[in-house]
Amino acid sequence: MPKNYDLPGPKSQDILDLQDQYEPSCRARAAPVVWAEAHGATITDIDGNEYIDWTSGVLCANIGHSHPHWVKAVQEQVAKVTMPYAYPTEPRATCARRLVEAMPDHAKNLDTCFLLSTGSEATEAAMRIAKRVTGRHEVISFWGSFHGRTWGAMSMAGIRSTKNNWGPLMPGTIYAPYPYFYRCPFGSRTEQECADKCLEWLDHKMRYESIGDLAAVITEPYQGGAGFIIPPEGFLKRLQDWTHEQGALFIDDEIQSSFGRTGKMWYMEHDKLSPDFCCIGKGIANGIPTAALMGNHELFDALNPGEMSSTTGANPVSAAAANAVLDVFESENLLQNCNEVGGFMADEIMKLRNKYEVLGDVRHKGLVIGLEFVKSKATKEPAPDLTTEITMRMASKGVTCGKVGIFGNVIRVAPPLCITREQAEKSIKCLDEVLGEI
């Protein structure tokens, strides 16, 4: 370090050409790094360049890329049976039991685990079951939220780019402001005031927009796609209580925020929540397509047998991968490392915020660190092009990072939870250098 890769390398360029020719441009794109291998928090590209990974492959590889225990479990299962569909298997039954048992004490109502393939399926299923159970049809979601890309899940998105030009959305979706303090729509002076205003606004929404038919409120505990927006402590609990006062169900979308990401196994532990549904995915199987909807058996009983299912959902390879992830959490101190290295990285990045005019805001919890870039701190005008430039320069110095945000101006620092202190130091040094250059 510092490196200065001339990206893309020649072999990478060949793959990028194939991508351009044969794949649609709608697929998400990042810096021109063609991954060949990834282990722990290190990626090697097809030209042999090495990178420290700040993406966890979009927040999936929480236990580290290609963890040996997980690799062995997946390989062994693939060699045995992969697709029994409606027939149960031992890994699937064990996985459901272990996930239910892993729910925290305050969420023991979540006694049933419905294994699926993608997060979108889980949020869509939660929303649909909530409608069936309550007999109502309205759903409140939040400005900035992201819950997936199937129609119902997409309709609940509070970011326009997720739903732009797709025609009419799901009837009965109501969008409410979320405590994005840095850009508080109410101009609040404190984080708490911003959260209070957002909660007050829910009553206005019910008074003017609802037809009195609220089935559910769905929220991400911290907003991922919007740019790592973390609400103040207590907000989620008050939101849950408000939801229950309306006779509606509270859906906690932890697809990105669970499996240790914020320093606790489940985000709901921070606020001692007891959601009616909890959607999990991403880190659940470290990258093998898997998700689950956790809920109470009485809620699932509202569905008839065979009414909700999918071809690959609950396949034994996914289940074996998820069981291996749980093993690793039991045997390694990933949560401790997440808190220690996450705390160190956040402190260092805070120093950079004071040093550089373009780093407007830094938000963090565990190994979720959002860096919001602006043209100037005074105007807070978003700087999306500059943010893209930073991700490119970071890659050429050997650090991969993703770009998100309502304005496309947030870099997310979300490395595998096993990232070492040394890797953290090196990667922050790269960031300092890049910010100095621009």
Ligand X SMILES: Cc1ncc(COP(=O)(O)O)c(C=O)c1O
For ligand X, the binding residues (CB under 6 A) are 118-120, 123, 146-148, 220, 224, 253, 255-256, 281, 291
Q: Minimal distance in Å, beta carbon 330 to ligand X?
A: 25
63 or 359: CB nearest ligand X: 63
* Bridge partners of residue 114, in order along the sequence: 293
Distance CA 281, CA 64 (A): 16
Tell me how many degrees the CA angle 287-289-290 measures, rounded to the nearest 5. 105
- Between 108 and 160, whose beta carbon lies closer to ligand X? 160
Closest distance of CB 362 from ligand X, Å: 20
**Burial class, 43, CB count within 10 angstroms (exposed 0-12 / middle 13-18 / buried 19+):** buried
Shortest approach of ligand X to residue 396 CB, angstroms? Answer: 26
Cβ contacts of residue 285 below 8 Å, gap of 6+?
A: 318, 321, 322, 325
**Cis-peptide into 2, omega within 30 deg:** yes
Separation CA 14–CA 359 (nearest Å): 35
| Of 221 and 398, CB closest to ligand X | 221
CA 254 from chain centre, in angstroms, equals: 7
- Residue 126 C-beta: closest distance to ligand X, Å: 11
Closest CA to 34 of 63, 1, 5, 64: 5
At closest approach, how far in Å is the CB of 225 from ligand X? 6
Q: At closest approach, how far in Å is the CB of 249 from ligand X?
A: 17
Rounded CA gap, 337 and 314, in Å? 30
Q: Which helix (H) or strand (E) holds 4?
A: none
Q: Are strands 359-365 and 368-373 parallel, antiparallel or unpaired?
A: antiparallel
42 or 262, CB closer to ligand X? 262
Kindly tell me which of 51 and 222 has the beta carbon lying closer to ligand X: 222
DSSP-H helix ranges across 3-118: 10-22, 56-59, 68-78, 90-101
Residues paired with 112 in a beta bridge: 295
303 vs 130: CA distance, rounded Å: 11
Residue with nearest beta carbon to ligand X: 119
CA-to-CA dists, residue 377 to 15, 83, 205, 353, 358, angstroms: 40, 54, 32, 10, 7
Helix and strand tally (H, E) in the chain? 15, 15
Q: Encoding tokens for residue 89?
A: 């298997």
Give me the least distance between CB of 145 and ligand X, in Å please.
Answer: 8
Task: Report which secondary-structure segment, H or E, holds 254.
Answer: none
Minimum distance of ligand X from residue 352's CB (angstroms)? 26
Beta bridge partners of 365: 368
Q: In angstroms, what is the minimal distance from the CB of 101 to ligand X?
A: 24
Nearer to ligand X, 121 or 138 (CB): 121
